[in-house]
Amino acid sequence: MSIRLGDTAPNFKSNTSVGEIDFYEYLGDSWGVLFSHPADYTPVCTTELGRTAALKDEFEKRNVKVLAISVDSAESHKGWIKDINETQNTSVEFPIIADPDKTVANLYDMIHPNASETLTVRSLFVISPDKKVKLIITDPASTGRNFNEVLRVIDSLQLTANYSVATPADWKDGEDVIVVNSIKTEDIPVKFPKGHKVIKPYLRTTPQPNK
């Protein structure tokens, strides 16, 4: 099946490096990041999992739970985690899903025949507390993910969910945001008391509401 933005993220039960989990139960009321790796003991992915572990506090303060997935076994994952911790000077505590039969990979359309008939592509999904898919990024095997961008998008998604704003190109946390078009200009002062600018009737900005 093909997963698209706005779809309900499929639930699954799976063995992981920390034991059996039910995906929905693991997420609870949190946001989620689910990201795939072609196989254990791959160099780029080793750095990515280490970077994710190092960002533990950043994910936690955003109420985000992280899960990785690889087609190898849970025992293989445990050995790989030792290497990750050693080489990346960190401690991987989040689950790495074992998916040798590719059940989860197929649920999330992680196998692209043009890339490989058997291995997952490197896809990342951000999932909201209502279990909707909010972001999909697929990177080539040779390019490590930009986790600062993942955090930036999560910040933007959470602002949109809570304050009816969007974020402009290259936006960073703390900068002005865009008032969504569903809000009339005359209603902006009540909803956004910090002030606003009308650049064009369709382009209205306001200071970030939660800063």
Angle at 156 (CA atoms; ends 122, 12), nearest 5 degrees: 45
Say what angle helices 43-54 and 147-163 make with each other, to 10 degrees.
50
Cα–Cα distance, 160 to 170 (Å, whole number):
16
Percentages helix, strand, coil for the chain (3-state, rounded to 5) are 30, 25, 45
Q: Order of strands across the sheet with 165-166?
A: 165-166, 177-179, 203-206, 197-200
> What are the structure tokens assigned to 210, written together?
């939660």
Look-up of token digits 């040779």: 142
Catalytic residue among 45, 74, 98, 110: 45
35 - beta bridge partners? Answer: 68, 124
Annotated catalytic residue 45: yes
The residues assigned a catalytic role are: 45
